[in-house]
Amino acid sequence: MRKLVLLIIVQIMIISCAKSPKLATDPASSAERANELFRMNMAAELAKIDTMLKADTPNSTIAHESYLRALDMIENDRIVFAELFYKRALAYEPTSTFLLSELIKVLLKQNKTKEAFPLLKLAVQNPKATPEDFLFMARLYKENQNLDSSAYYYKKATDKMSGNMAVLYEYAQLLEFLQNLPELRRVYDILLVELDYPPRLLEKQILLYHIVGAGDSATAALLGEAFSANGITYAEYGYFQAEILASLKKYSEANEVLLTIYYMHPSNEYKSKVALRIAHNYELMDSITVAVVWLEQLLAQDPENHTAMNNLGYVLIDRNIDAKRGLALVEKALTYVPEEFSYLDSKAWGLYKLGKYEEALKIFEKLEAGGMKANELWEHLAAVCEALKLDERAKAYRAKIKN
């Protein structure tokens, strides 16, 4: 009997030892086992939730519980579980636009755009569609390069959330690319009111000016306010204000702004840019002597400024002041940029003024073949063709000149 008892005790000890954990474990293997256990639990839970996605009848209680579970999953950064709980909630409340929108957000967070797209199409067709639904649809269309559809849904979104500056900026960027100028100006007008003329938006106004190619008096006034209020730090705004004024043929007003910048700005490079514009405005006002003085002064300060060389050379040629010197200046400018169309046009015009019509015509024809299209080129070609008695060609070039 004692032997039997001892045998039982020994067996119990062996079993206990087998089940007891080791006192020391490998940390790496423990972490690996924990990860494997998490993956197994996750797979099991996913499989369990998947079986509950279909419901025979609407049940708001189960839908609400599933929604709360989805929120917990999002908070714990378990986005896949959140997706399935939202799907379960929708199975019990299939008409809920709110749950549909939440599921769409979760899908988009996981970059499941193909799955989200048909759901979004359903969402935006619903009279209760949210502004975010329209915004997500706009972004998806933009991602797929369907820009017209993207703009359509951006407009829907911004109409419903006009106070959202970030979304308005997104929409504006797309409009800039599409060059939808009327709508772009409308969006800028909203931004201006909302943001009280911030610097970033002024930059957008400048961009709009570049797209349009000419600004209006209101934009010029806006840029002028920014320049006046902030001084030389906003010199670029002053410069663009002057360009708009010049495009409106208000050359004297433009030069007033440019002269302020010229005498305030410390950068010689920027002052050169401003001086060129001042000289050009004086030329447009037929103040040729003043224009020449500004260009001569600029070249004296910056002898390698090839733009000033060309501009001065052209004035001397075009105004019959000194065509030989003008041509020499233009040819020197061409040593810096041999293929610059405007410089080649100046050279050909100089040759024409010196009676070298055939040489001039060859250069003008090269510019035309190269894709240059400008009234000035047509005028020059017409003049050369008339000098060479090519009347029909001259007449054709005159017809191309736009008023």
Q: What are the phi and psi torsion angles at 328 (to 5°)?
A: -65, -40
Check pLDDT > 70 for residue 200.
Answer: no
- Distance from CA of residue 183 to its chain's centroid? 16
Distance separating alpha carbons of residues 381 and 372, to the nearest angstrom: 12
Distance separating alpha carbons of residues 193 and 253, to the nearest angstrom: 27
Distance separating alpha carbons of residues 367 and 178, to the nearest angstrom: 30
Q: How many residues does the chain have?
A: 403
- Banded model confidence at residue 125, pLDDT cuts 50, 70, 90: confident
Q: What are the phi and psi torsion angles at 54 (to 5°)?
A: -105, 140
Distance separating alpha carbons of residues 149 and 401, to the nearest angstrom: 38
Helix (H) or strand (E) holding 107, with range, is helix 97-109
| Residue 337 DSSP SS3 | coil
Distance separating alpha carbons of residues 387 and 370, to the nearest angstrom: 23
pTM: 0.53
Long-range residue pairs from 237-246, CB within 8 A, at least 24 positions apart, any chain: 237/202, 237/206, 239/273, 239/274, 239/277, 240/206, 240/209, 240/215, 242/277, 243/209, 243/215, 243/277, 244/209, 244/214, 244/215, 244/216, 244/217, 244/219, 244/220, 245/220, 246/277, 246/281, 246/284
Q: What is the pLDDT of residue 251?
A: 95
Check pLDDT > 60 for residue 211.
Answer: no
- Contact assessment for residue 204 and residue 191, using Cβ atoms and an 8 Å cutoff: yes
Distance separating alpha carbons of residues 103 and 85, to the nearest angstrom: 9
Check pLDDT > 70 for residue 308.
Answer: yes
Q: State the helix-helix crossing angle for 341-353 and 357-369, rounded to 10 degrees.
A: 160
Burial of 309 (0-12, 13-18, 19+ CB in 10 A): buried
- Mean pLDDT across 108-123: 77
- Contact assessment for residue 257 and residue 226, using Cβ atoms and an 8 Å cutoff: no
Q: What is the pLDDT of residue 294?
A: 96
Q: Which positions ≥6 away from 367 have C-beta within 8 Å?
A: 341, 344, 345, 348, 377
Torsion of CA 196, 201, 202, 206, to 10 degrees: -150
Distance separating alpha carbons of residues 220 and 214, to the nearest angstrom: 10
Check pLDDT > 60 for residue 306.
Answer: yes
pLDDT tens profile 162-183 = 667 778 878 888 887 887 877 8
Long-range residue pairs from 184-192, CB within 8 A, at least 24 positions apart, any chain: 184/208, 184/211, 187/158, 190/162, 191/165, 192/222
Q: What is the pLDDT of residue 208?
A: 58
Distance separating alpha carbons of residues 357 and 382, to the nearest angstrom: 12
Check pLDDT > 60 for residue 161.
Answer: yes
- Contact assessment for residue 124 and residue 133, using Cβ atoms and an 8 Å cutoff: yes
- Contact assessment for residue 209 and residue 215, using Cβ atoms and an 8 Å cutoff: yes
Q: What is the pLDDT of residue 348?
A: 96
Q: Where do we find the tokens 């379960």?
A: 88
More confident residue, 332 or 227: 332
- Banded model confidence at residue 31, pLDDT cuts 50, 70, 90: low
